[in-house]
Homo-oligomer: A and B are copies of this chain.
Amino acid sequence: MTFMEKLSAAMQKNNSLVCVGLDPAIGKLPECIRNRPDAIYEFNCRIVDATKDLVCAYKPQAAYYAGQDCDEALKESILYIKKTAPEVPVILDVKRGDIGSTAEYYAKEAFERYQADAVTVNPYMGFDAVKPFLDYEDKGVIILCRTSNKFSGDLQNLVADGRPLYEHVALLVKDKWNTAKNAALVVGATYPEELKALRELCPDMPFLVPGVGAQGGDVEKVVKFGCTADKCGIIVNSSRGIIYASKGEDYAEAAGKAALELRDQINSYR
């Protein structure tokens, strides 16, 4: 089953467009778990247990594992998802981008070492930096387009030939790069008008939409502007808003509740 098929099936089965970002920072974990040697893995497992019937994807952010020297916890967490929630795809958020011969090794990292179903990549270096990922045709390749952060406009809003840079990215992906139909775009929730314009440019392509929750994106606009004609097409990521819903011993239960609320809130606008 390809990433796109798996994503679509998980959206149907769980009636959900919610993606949970697994971005565990040791210092922010509940005290009851923080000092365990396997704290990050254990935390992720309990979050997965509590949310696996409520989501369409998980998105571990590689930086948290790389920066805290716990690659093994990332690998084991993905294996745990594959064992306990095999129907839910895993998007490894790495935002890589490099010359082709190097990007091949990053593709191996994501798809072979970590067994991710999809990966995020950066388009700045152009087609040959993205192709080694796209060549894994069963995997998803989610390309940064309009990102959710405050200064994303520094480059992305520059206008060339009458279009902002991020629209050029969308058109390159849609018209040239996506020959295997395994590409998607990252479009932040914090810029809903841009989301709307991008959906008009790319009526069918899935969008990974970060930026609701801690970053303040408007859920109603995201759903109304972002969904495809079949009322799917968006993967709405929340990380901190779900995984840190409680800092107490009820953290997993609270995460499940937060995921349910976000799922239902999204569905109320579909």
- Distance in Å: Cβ of A131 to nearest Cβ of chain B: 8
Report A161-172 CB contacts with B as 1/0, cut-off 8 Å.
100010011001
Q: A73 CA to B30 CA in the complex, in Å?
A: 33
**Assembled-state Cα–Cα distance A33/B251 (Å):** 50
- Tell me whether A127 and B154 are in contact in the complex, defined as CB-CB below 8 angstroms, given that A113-B67, A165-B160 are known contacts: yes
Stretch at the interface among A99-107, A223-231, A242-250, A261-269: A99-107
8 Å CB contact of A156 from B61, B67, B96, B126: B126
Q: When the two chains form the complex, which single residue of B23, B104, B149, B159 contacts A125, counting CB atoms closer than 8 Å? A: B149
Shortest CB distance A68–B (Å): 7
Chain B residues with CB under 8 Å of A126's CB are 147, 149-156
Interface size on A, residues (CB 8 A): 54
Tell me if B122 and A67 are in contact (CB < 8 A): no
Chain B residue numbers with a CB within 8 Å of A147 are 99, 124-126
CB distance from A63 to the nearest CB of B (A): 4
Do A151 and B122 contact each other (CB < 8 Å), given the known contacts A63-B98, A105-B66?
A: no
A215 to B113, CA, bound (A): 28
Residues B129 and A149 in contact, CB atoms below 8 Å apart:
yes
For residue A152, which residues in chain B have a CB less than 8 angstroms away from its CB? 125-126
Is A123 at the interface (CB under 8 A from chain B)?
yes
List 6 A-B pairs, minimum CB-CB distance, nearest first. Answer: A67-B105, A126-B151, A126-B154, A158-B160, A63-B105, A67-B108
